[in-house]
Structure 1
Amino acid sequence: MEPIRETMKRVVNAPSFSERYDAMKKEVLEHPGVLKFLKQHEEEIDGPTVEKGMGKLYEYIDQSHDCNKCPNLGGCINHLKGFEPNLVLERGNIGISYTKCRLKTAEDNKRHASSLIHSMYMPKEVMAARIENFELDDRRLPAFRAVDEFLENSTGPDSLPEKGLYLYGKFGTGKSYLLSAVANELAEINVKTVLVFVPEFMREMKQAIGDHTLQEKIEYVKKADVLMLDDIGAEAMSSWTRDEVLGTILHYRMAERLPTFMSSNFSYSELAHHLTYTQRGEKEDLKAARIMERIETLTVPVKLEGENRRNK
């Protein structure tokens, strides 16, 4: 039997192998990334070092760089999915290190942003809203400008305007969508937002008395960096939900100067009327006025007009 060393020598010296190796070596040494690396380390790398590191150099050029060979993160061709190779010099030898690629960075950023938004009973399609997809016309422009101004003045969790917006208008004009779009924009600057669909939230608060989670849930909502109360006024308001739940949340946020957004089919005056009358028909002007004072302190009213887009 022929010794393995002799076999390897014969294979390596075979014309076909030699030609393929020369072609591979030429491809490697003409690669822009390799040329740049060798230029940067020309005083440290000699011919034998290049020859010894040819396997690593080929491994480098055979992969995707700046995601140029990958259709998406799932289709990444690299040895470590989501990471791209970088040539390095390690103790005089050529090696490879891996760093996160731009597709994985974008995906991780997206996941991080999603983790900063806590939705309570909001539809999934609304939660995917983006500012750039908000359809503009003359009637919707004032609301868009108000939102844009808030975002322009928001630079991070510790630098937010004290007042949020009270978006009001007819059913289906895009108020919930715009709230969610703002939440997604704020997540890009690491601001945590809690979005609450008020009618369902109030129903859960009544159930929370029985399972002893009422205080915990109120604490969570009232302390959010940014709180968005969607469809306020659509709930069947009792004295208890108005004063002990809504009132408690708004009082804390007013005292702590935490930005709060709201959406409603009612204007301020119409909401005041709604809050005045309880489910039992009791008229409580003073208590309603207290809630409205907090709402007016926390928000700037902006009317969002337009057609009902849910019927399009």
Structure 2
Amino acid sequence: MDSIDASLHHFMNKKEWQERFEKVKKEVLMDKRIQSFLKEHSAWNEDTLDRDLMKLYEYKKERENCDFCPGLKRCPNMMKGYQPVIAVENDQLLIRYQSCTLKRQEEERKKQQSLMKSMYIPKEILEATFDSIDQDHKSRLAASNKCLQFAMEANPGKDGKGLYLCGKFGVGKTYMMGAIVNELAARNIPSMIVYVPDFFRELKQSVTDGTVQEKIDYVKKMDVLILDDIGAETISAWIRDDVLGVILQYRMMEKLPTLYTSNYDYDELEEHLSYSQKGGIERLKAKRIMERIRHLTTFVFVDGKNRRESL
């Protein structure tokens, strides 16, 4: 019986296999990423990479899948949601896998939703895009353009200016915010939509399990924070001063953009914030909150027909 080495040598000298091997080698060497790797690592060149050819071929095919990504659910890679990187360790070429942007975004969203039930956003909003926004009203078109401009230019940590979308029920304010979230995701900028009434209600309930501060810290440090339907909550002095005030103060100091949707304009929201559950009126404290909101947002009025009535 021939030795394994002899058998392998005999197999490798078969013309058909050799031609296939050379074809694969040619494809690998034409890959720009692999060309860049070979330039940086002189130990590997066209004459010596035969031993690592299949590793590089695996890298090439998997990265091509990423180049034409069909989405996380339909990811064709061996490890769904992971992309390969070339590594060198002890003069050995290794192919390692790291989570892709979409995978990290999904994990971050799951982390957010496990921390806060108020992070639940309808599927329609999560899939919103600017192309799908109805532009059948001049006001909605102008608002959509403002939102797109923000999404394309947002620079958390450098510019803390956000948007304040105001309008009646069902005109598409939250949908536009969903489009912003998805556009920011394409730029690898983390963001979060919080439905304000549920968020504040959840914080009150979290006093008993000791997670209030954890939730406040998580929200206040998010790169881009969207407070959806502010003004629809039942206000209290604690919520206004120790929650909302603390969040906005931190974000102002760190230049982190905060965006809002509301049925109230600035003056109406200030009036709302001045009243508490106990019936007191504290206009000065409400004014302090509103100064931060006014100073760090651009007011955008959204009008049009109520989209919910047509559902």
* TM-score bin, normalised by smaller chain: 0.5 to 0.7
Residue number in structure 2 paired with 1:133: 132
Distance 1:245 1:277 in 2: 16
Equivalence for 2:101: 109
Structure 1 residue 176, shift from structure 2 partner: 1.9
**In the alignment, is the contact (CA less than 8 A) between 2:270 and 2:286 conserved in 1?**
yes
User: Is contact 1:199–1:236 with CA below 8 Å preserved after alignment?
Assistant: yes
Is residue 2:281 matched to residue 1:287?
A: no
Report which of the two has the higher share of helix. Answer: 2
Whether the 8 Å CA contact 2:143–2:300 is kept in 1: the answer is yes
Partner of 1:33: 27
Deviations 1:227-283 (A, max 9, x none): 211110111112332233222322333344331111111111222232233334444
- Report deviation, 1:290: 2.5
Q: How many residues align?
A: 282
SS of the aligned residue for 1:129 comes to: coil
What residue identity is the alignment partner of 2:270? A
Alpha-carbon spacing, 1:57–1:150, altered in 2? closer, same or farther (3 Å): closer
CA contact (8 A) 2:83 2:100 kept: no
Aligned Cα root-mean-square deviation (Å): 4.5
Note closer, same or farther for the CA distance 1:150–1:239 as it changes in structure 2 (3 Å cut).
same
Distance 1:223 1:57 in 2: 45
Residues 282 and 111 (structure 1), Cα distance of their counterparts in 2 relative to 1, 3 Å cut: same
Counterpart residue number, 2:209 = 211
Contact 2:101 2:188 in 1 (8 A): no
- 1:268-306 C-alpha deviation (Å, 9 max, x unpaired): 122223223333444433332222222212211111223
Q: Is the 8 A contact 2:163 2:297 kept in 1?
A: yes
Q: Is the 8 A contact 1:113 1:184 kept in 2?
A: no
Distance 1:236 1:190 in 2: 34
Alpha-carbon distance, 1:166 to partner: 0.6
User: In structure 1, what is the Cα distance between the partners aligned to 2:246 and 2:69?
Assistant: 51
Amino acid at match of 1:184: N
Q: Which amino acid aligns with 1:162?
A: G
Native 8 Å contact 2:165 2:300 kept in 1 = yes
- Contact kept in structure 2, 1:198 and 1:229, CA below 8 Å: yes
Larger radius of gyration: 1
In the alignment, what sits opposite 2:148?
148
2 CA distance for matches of 1:199 and 1:82? Answer: 39
Which residues of structure 1 form unaligned runs of 5+?
Answer: 86-90
Contact 2:163 2:300 in 1 (8 A): yes
Which residue number in structure 2 is paired with residue 185 of structure 1?
183
Partner of 1:88 in structure 2? none
Kindly state the Cα deviation for residue 143 of structure 1 after the two structures are TM-superposed. 1.6
User: Which letter does structure 2 place at the counterpart of 1:136?
Assistant: Q
Matched-pair contact (CA < 8 Å) for 2:160–2:252: no
Distance change (3 Å), C-alpha of 1:23 and 1:59: farther
| Cα distance per residue 1:49-75 (max 9 Å; x no partner) | 99xx7x99799989984349x996655
Distance 1:62 1:275, change over 3 A: closer
Q: Cα offset for 1:124? A: 4.2
Consecutive unaligned residues in structure 2, runs of 5 or more? 32-37, 39-44
Over the matched positions of the two proteins, sequence identity in percent amounts to 38
Which whole-Å CA distance do the structure 2 matches of 1:245 and 1:71 have between them?
40
SS of the equivalent of 2:187 reads coil
Offset, 1:164: 0.4
TM-score by length of 1: 0.68
Which SS does the other structure have where 1:140 is aligned?
helix
Query: 2:228 pairs with 208, 226, 230, which one?
Result: 230
Q: CA 1:59 to 1:254, structure 2 compared with 1: closer, same or farther past 3 Å?
A: closer
Which piece of structure 1 moves more, 201-210 or 55-64? 55-64
For structure 1, which segment, 128-137 or 284-293, has the greater mean C-alpha deviation from structure 2 after superposition? 128-137
Q: So what's the TM-score if we normalise by structure 2?
A: 0.68
CA shift digits 1:176-208 (9 cap, x unpaired): 222233233333434332322110111122223
Distance 1:186 1:280, change over 3 A: same
Deviations 1:77-101 (A, max 9, x none): 89xx96599xxxxx9xxx997577x
8 Å CA contact retained: 2:152, 2:184: no
2 CA distance for matches of 1:30 and 1:193? 45
